[in-house]
Structure 1
Amino acid sequence: MAGNQKSKAKAEQARGKAKEAAGRAVGNERMTAEGRAEQSKGDARQAKEKGKDTFRH
Structure 2
Amino acid sequence: MTSRNRKLIPEAKSGLAKFKKEVANELGVPLSDYNGDLTSRQNGSVGGEMVKRMVEQYERNL
TM-score interval for Structure 1 and Structure 2 normalised by the shorter chain: 0.3 to 0.5
- Normalising by structure 1, we get a TM-score of 0.47
- Normalising by structure 2, we get a TM-score of 0.44
| Structure having the larger proportion of residues in helix | 1
Q: Which has the higher contact order (CA 8 A, sep 6+)?
A: 1
